[in-house]
Chain A
Amino acid sequence: MTLVDQRPDSAPPRPWRFPSFERTRLDSGLQLLVCHQPGRPLAAARLVLDGGAITEPAGRAGVALLAARALPEGTESLDAFELAEAMEGMGAEIRGEVSYDSMQVRMDVPVTRLGPALALFGDVVRRPGFRPGEVERLRKERLDQLAQEQAVPGALAARAFEGAVFVADSPYARSIGGQVETVEGLDTAAIESFYRSRIDASAATLVVVGDVAGVDIAGIAADAFGQWPVDNVGQSTPVVDARDEPTRVVLVDRAGSVQSTLTIGHAGPPRRTPDYVPIDMLAMCLGGVFGSRLNLKLREEKGYTYGAFAGFDFRRHGGTFSAQTAVQTEVTADAVADAVAEIARTAESGIPEEELASTREYSVGVFPIAYERPDAVAHGLADLVVHGLADDWHDSVRSEMAAVSSEQVTKAAADHLHPDRMAIVVVGDAAAVRPGLEAAGLGSVEVREAGV
């Protein structure tokens, strides 16, 4: 059989730039980012609002998420079902979501019905129903979701990790969406108060992406989102201090688990850190691609897992570094030790050029694939808004990636990986994995019941 033995060389790539867009501001103060992406018939719209989880009042954790979920559940004139019927009849799907730094209301709709859908979108945000019956239903659904999360390994790991990394009075110490005690205290008045104090045109941006030639988005937006009272109270800087404790193990008991779900890491820098590109490249080499150190060690060499990952979660005021994987129960202590060793090795000796080269090529080359779809471009534009980045940020960061050196990435590893200050969260069968974890000498081992 004939196969060609010579691996072919590739020609130079065709140039690519992040899709161009226009940034304008309406009389109401609403900022508008519009990107015409030819040949993309499903438009993506996002309203970026200054209502992230870090803006929740004390004792009201979860109010931002509940407000975001309540917005698409009715307007002044349409109840939950009527609104859904109107939106979905246009082929539109709308939902509200919350990160630490923003609230975003997202809508996908065929461009042929973008105009009327945007008009209704305006109603959803400007004239929400917040009917007490709907809010109470959503509150109970959220409580049910929190109960169910007690059975979900990844959710248990995330909660334990955030609490182990940040001091108790930091909003970063708790998962977005609050906990049972705070959600139980929420009601329509709490949502309306949060909405009035945070959601207004002066701090809002509408992002629209798709094949929108011929759609008067500015005119539609002026009608749909105009005349918005300005009550935004501004933001105060949240507490983001880390606990900064020596490396220790937090073992969350989930009896009967056939895998242990691991989250290992510590606090990290904010999004606008000057060494963002070297840090991001470091994370890619450690756990961001298939050929990363963690995935090759834990999956391709040891067969302990279906996959292993690592990354920095960059937020406006701080963030986290974490490695994540799920491993067969029997190998838990060995897998944790291997992961910790890879992090420590990387912190000590960095990433050599021969290893960095392919990851650099990946990071630069993947841009045109990552931004093929309107929803991905809309996500990229929303990021500019949330973090106050320049309009040419995507192109400039890509150029920076192409030029990043092994020395820069190695320095980022030394500066931002702290193997001696890690929280090692293990969600698994404590009776089975505790002895091994204690014997491994990773640090103190604290055992918790799930749900405590």
Chain B
Amino acid sequence: MPAFELTDERLDNGLRLILSEDHAAPVVAVNLWYNVGSRHEPEGRTGFAHLFEHLMFEGSRHVKRGEHFAAVEAAGGTLNASTWCDRTNYYESAPSNHLELLLWLEADRMGGLLDGISQETLDNQRDVVKNERRQRMDNAPYGTWGERMHWAVFPKGHPYHHPTIGSMGDLDAASLDDVSAFFRRYYAPNNAVLTIVGDLDPDEARGWVERYFGGIPRNDDIPPPPDGTLPAAIGAEVRETVPDNVQLEKLFIGYRAPAYGTSEFDALTMALLVAGQGRGSRMHRTLVIERQLAKDVDFSPWPFVGGAAVATASATARQGVPAADLEAAMHDVLGGLADGVTEEEMARARGLMERYELGQLQAVADRADAFSECATLFDDPNLVNTRLDALLAIDADAVAQAAARVLTADNRAVLTFVPQEGR
């Protein structure tokens, strides 16, 4: 993979600016990561960071309600945002002649959001977010598994104990005062990374960034993230059986994992690829093809930086297969990784990792997000150019060691979803 060239600098107010040219298409991507997520939420305000993200689209000092979305769409652009435990990102892609407009819009809400917020917009977006929760979780089969996994893997009071979407009660409690306080505390230029990738002139882009963002004051009192330190292992297996509106039983197994950014997390990620990615994975081969206990299998690493991350694996039981049989087989497969993985398995995992990473970096929007991520979480945007090689260099021994340390019985949570009675 050829390295992507980039520049990495800071404005006087602390805003970190990353520029990377790519003139393959007349498209430019603007991406902003704010170093705030659901782990920063105070007690009783779960879901607030994400609700706040919604308000960022509802108007600011010089941008009327509805104008932000309308302006970007009328420019031929696409836009969205997302919130997770460690961060909140805002991003748009547009034909490159509209870069200055995108920067003006982002600066106006970074510096002047509070002038655009009212009780009406807060109430409206609170309803929208509650419907987002209903659609994705409460009304979806197995939809609450992620929330339950947060509860099981992290102890009460830990910053990752609650999911980003939050609870209905806490969303109801959010007030305009909360919005002001959160904005003043976290939405400052020195708490953000601005990345611009695509068909741009660096000097021109720098000039616009200075013009639109340069006057926004820094905040020297941003509190550090809450302490996420906790024991490496859960300590004892956590089990929950969840009756749900489902037809097929399904198992979700989660492990407390080393934090994202460590070599152990990377080795564990390769272990999960060996175990669960693709039809050639151990879980697919054993559970789906050979023993026909599962209809499908899946896995996901949750890349958290604050103390610990999560590794999950899941399998949907075939009709008539007892969940206990499937669970025993999953434990055999996942636990067996500690006994070693073959060079063939490593080659397959490396091939899939390369395919995934290349696919992640093709569009300028995806590349911009990767630069922002690496700058925000690891203070090194150039990791985008080196992280694939680092992952491909992980050997079979490191994978087995990571599996031996993490994929253990006393470090797992097992969620079993079963059909509700009477359904």
A contact set with B: CB distance below 8 Å: 1-5, 7-8, 10-16, 38-42, 72-73, 80-81, 83-85, 87-93, 108-110, 113, 137, 140-141, 143-145, 147-148, 150-153, 254-259, 261, 289-291, 296, 299-306, 326-328, 357-359, 361-369, 371-374
Contacts and interface: CB of A to CB of B under 8 A. Distances in A.
Given A326-B135, A365-B75, A372-B362, A3 B318 contact: no
Contact of B25 (A16, A87, A150, A290): A16
Contacts of A143: 319
A81 to B, nearest CB: 5
Contacts of B214: 2
Contacts of A88: 277-280, 348, 351-352
A96 B104 CA distance: 45
Contacts of A147: 247-248, 319
A109 B355 CA distance: 6
Interface in B258-312: 277-280, 284-285, 288-289, 292, 295-296
- The 10 A-B residue pairs with the shortest CB-CB distance, nearest first, are A365-B76, A2-B215, A303-B127, A91-B351, A84-B280, A84-B279, A14-B26, A358-B74, A91-B355, A306-B132
Secondary structure call for the A interface = mixed
A13 B131 contact: no
A7 B247 contact: no
B359 interface: yes
Interface stretch (B37-45, B95-103, B146-154): B95-103
Interface stretch (B61-69, B224-232, B333-341, B404-412): B61-69
Contact of A85 (B73, B129, B280): B280
B323 interface: no
Nearest to A112: B354
A151 B316 CA distance: 14
A211 B322 CA distance: 48
B73 to A, nearest CB: 5
B1 interface: yes
Contacts of A326: 131, 134-135, 139
A301 B127 CA distance: 10
Given A91-B351, A374-B362, 13 more contacts: A3-B112, A4-B107, A39-B24, A42-B362, A80-B279, A84-B280, A84-B284, A89-B351, A147-B247, A258-B138, A303-B127, A305-B131, A361-B76
Contact of A328 (B70, B95, B111, B131): B131
Contacts of B350: 91
Contacts of A151: 141, 245-247
A90 B351 contact: yes
Nearest to B62: A5
Given A147-B319, A152-B141, A304 B70 contact: no
Contact of A14 (B78, B97, B129): B97
Given A89-B347, A254-B245, A372-B364, A290 B124 contact: no
A90 B268 CA distance: 21
A371 B26 CA distance: 11
A91 B354 contact: yes
B26 to A, nearest CB: 4
Contacts of A373: 362-363
B216 interface: yes
B187 to A, nearest CB: 12
B127 A3 contact: no
Contact of A13 (B26, B136, B245, B285): B26
Contacts of A374: 362
Most buried by B among A10, A15, A147, A254: A10
Nearest to A43: B358
B166 interface: no
B104 A7 contact: yes
B421 to A, nearest CB: 12
Most buried by B among A137, A148, A327, A328: A148
Nearest to B133: A306
Interface of B: 1, 22, 24-27, 61-62, 66, 69-71, 73-78, 93-98, 100-101, 104, 107-108, 111-112, 123-132, 134-136, 138-141, 199, 211-212, 214-217, 245-248, 277-280, 284-285, 288-289, 292, 295-296, 316, 318-319, 344, 347-348, 350-352, 354-355, 358-359, 362-365, 420, 423
Contact of A306 (B131, B246, B285): B131
A365 B362 contact: no
B105 to A, nearest CB: 8
Contacts, number: 251
A93 to B, nearest CB: 7
13 contacts: A2-B214, A7-B71, A10-B101, A14-B26, A93-B278, A147-B247, A290-B73, A303-B125, A306-B132, A328-B134, A358-B73, A362-B76, A364-B76
Most buried by A among B278, B296, B362: B362
A38 B2 CA distance: 12
Nearest to B142: A151
B348 A89 contact: yes
A137 B96 CA distance: 50
A14 B95 CA distance: 8
A183 B359 CA distance: 35
B419 to A, nearest CB: 8
B348 A369 contact: no
B355 A89 contact: no
Nearest to A146: B247
Contacts of A254: 245
A4 B216 CA distance: 10
A18 to B, nearest CB: 11
B399 to A, nearest CB: 16
B411 to A, nearest CB: 28
Contacts of B215: 1-4
A357 B362 CA distance: 31
A41 B1 contact: yes
Nearest to A39: B24
B138 A14 contact: no
B278 A300 contact: no
A73 B139 CA distance: 34
A303 B73 CA distance: 21
B95 A365 contact: yes
A110 B354 contact: yes
Contact of B100 (A8, A153, A364): A8
A289 B18 CA distance: 30
Contacts of B217: 1
B141 A304 contact: no
Contacts of A4: 62, 104, 107, 211-212, 215
Most buried by B among A3, A152, A300, A359: A3
A447 B295 CA distance: 32
Nearest to A15: B26
Nearest to A86: B280
Contacts of B127: 302-304, 328
A218 B268 CA distance: 41
B224 to A, nearest CB: 25
B111 A93 contact: no
Contacts of A257: 139, 245
Contacts of A362: 73-77
